[in-house]
Copies of this chain bind each other. A is one copy, B any other.
Amino acid sequence: MSILVVGSVAFDSVKTPFGERERILGGSATYFSVAASFFTDVRVVAVVGEDFGPDQDAVFLDRNVDITDLERVPGRSFFWSGEYGFDLNVAKTRDTQLNVFADFKPKLSDKARETPYLFLGNIQPQLQVEVREQVGAKLVAADTMNYWIDNTPDDLSEMLRRIDLLVINDAEARAIAREANLVRAARKILSMGPKRLVIKRGEYGVTMFTEHSYFATPAYPLEEVFDPTGAGDSFAGGFMGYLAATNASDEAAFRRAIIYGSVMASFNVEEFGCERMRRLTYDEINARFRELRSFSNFEEAQMPPF
């Protein structure tokens, strides 16, 4: 099955303790679609400006991502500039220029409306709802961020009521639920709409909640995190990509999807932008999947002589 992703396509200038890049291709829809493209067909709905050219097209086209619904308008593309210190968990934003993204009204082709898997990247909750209403998808997942949680809580609640699955980080989960304990926060969010909640915890891995199940897995242990930008979106791309490719919806499939998402994120942060994902192979993906499995595997207890 194929995936439709709506989100941002942007130019990022990123500085980390390990180096610097000017105006590399970024944005939630970019990271998501490149990661998901390893698993299934992906179609992107986003907006870019006149500074988006053949080099940027190539990032998508080389991965067979369908960009016919990528709108091109006069002006400049969304631009973000940020810096990470040695604590790579927090980005310091140096500059944000919404540019053509400020007036983004997602336009969906007929083909886009028929896509069975939909991922609503982190954009205004109101736009997420508008897109969601136009797509008769089998599975709808969404991301969001603290800005929308704080500033458009009603729109966010509306969005939450209309999705199947929410993929956020732990700070966002605590903020949405106004609850410090993550288990209680998860329970509250599940009462707000989504039937399944995936919480990204950076170097601590990922947890997944439903009303009746809990799953937790460690992150792939990396000695070098080069550039954390896009980790969450490449996770979501691998996660949704696996689900769409297998079209399975049992708990076991969701768990394996979490592992594939973790694998894609772990590769993505090894280099700037999409650089690492652009030359990734299936052998590498599957090898890391097996490694992650071995890291959390333990046999049935051989009970001590109580």
By a CB distance below 8 angstroms, the chain B residues around A187 are 223
Residues of B within 8 A of A180 (CB): 86-87
In the bound assembly, the distance between CA atoms of A40 and B183 in angstroms comes to 33
Task: Tell whether A256 is near chain B: CB-to-CB under 8 Å.
Answer: yes
- Binary interface profile of A, 90-130, with partner B (CB < 8 Å = 1, else 0)? 00000000000000000000000000000000000000000
Residues on B with C-beta less than 8 A from A189 are none
Distance (Å) between the CB of A291 and the closest chain B CB? 9
Interface size band for A:
35 or more
Bound state CA distance, A203 and B182, in angstroms? Answer: 9
What is the bound-complex CA distance between A86 and B182, given in angstroms?
Answer: 12
Taking a contact as CB atoms under 8 Å apart, the answer to whether B296 and A221 are in contact is no
Partner of A216, one of B205, B224, B289, B290: B205
> Considering the complex, which residues of chain A in the window 184-238 have a beta carbon less than 8 Å from any beta carbon of chain B?
184, 187, 201, 203-205, 207, 214-218, 221-225
CB neighbours (8 Å) of A222 from chain B are 181, 183
Q: Within the complex, what minimum Cβ distance (angstroms) separates A299 from chain B?
A: 5
With both beta carbons as reference points, the residue of chain B lying nearest to A223 in the complex is identified as: B183
B182 lies within 8 A of A299 (CB):
no
The 0/1 profile, CB within 8 Å of B marked 1, for residues 283-303 of chain A is 000100110010111111111
Mask, A41-81, CB within 8 Å of B = 1, is: 00000000000000000000000000000000000000000
A162 within 8 A of B: no
Choose among B181, B215, B304 the residue that contacts A39 (Cβ–Cβ < 8 A).
B304
Residues of A within 8 A of B (CB): 38-40, 86-87, 180-184, 187, 201, 203-205, 207, 214-218, 221-225, 241-242, 245-246, 248, 252-253, 255-256, 258-259, 282, 286, 289-290, 293, 295-306
